[in-house]
């Protein structure tokens, strides 16, 4: 099973960067990532297409796309 994740990273100057990651859930292998200034479906689609070409041994037998939208964190969390 492959999992895609989009994480929003805000830099000190206020710029948002969207980190798109595609990962094989079973092996925890990172199949691809991209960092963009906006989040859109084409970024994930591009990651999936590249993974199908460059990691054929990790291809799932079928592909289902499930979108989950989470409420963004409004306050930063610090671990210390």
pLDDT tens for each residue of the chain, 80 residues long: 788 888 888 888 988 888 888 888 888 888 888 888 877 778 888 888 888 887 777 676 766 666 555 555 555 544 43
Q: How far apart are CA 50 and CA 35, in angstroms?
A: 15
Are 32 and 7 a contacting pair, CB within 8 Å?
Answer: no
* Cα–Cα dist 15/20, whole Å: 16
Task: Give me the residue label for tokens 């079973």.
Answer: 26
pTM exceeds 0.75, yes or no: no
């Amino acid at each position: 099973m492959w999992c895609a994740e989009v994480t929003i990273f805000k830099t000190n100057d206020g710029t948002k960067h969207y980190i798109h990651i595609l990962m094989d859930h079973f092996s925890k292998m990172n199949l691809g990532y991209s960092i963009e200034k906006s989040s859109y479906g084409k970024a994930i689609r591009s990651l999936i297409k590249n993974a199908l070409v460059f990691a054929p041994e990790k291809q799932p037998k079928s592909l289902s796309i499930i979108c989950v939208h989470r409420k963004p964190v409004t306050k930063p969390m610090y671990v210390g």
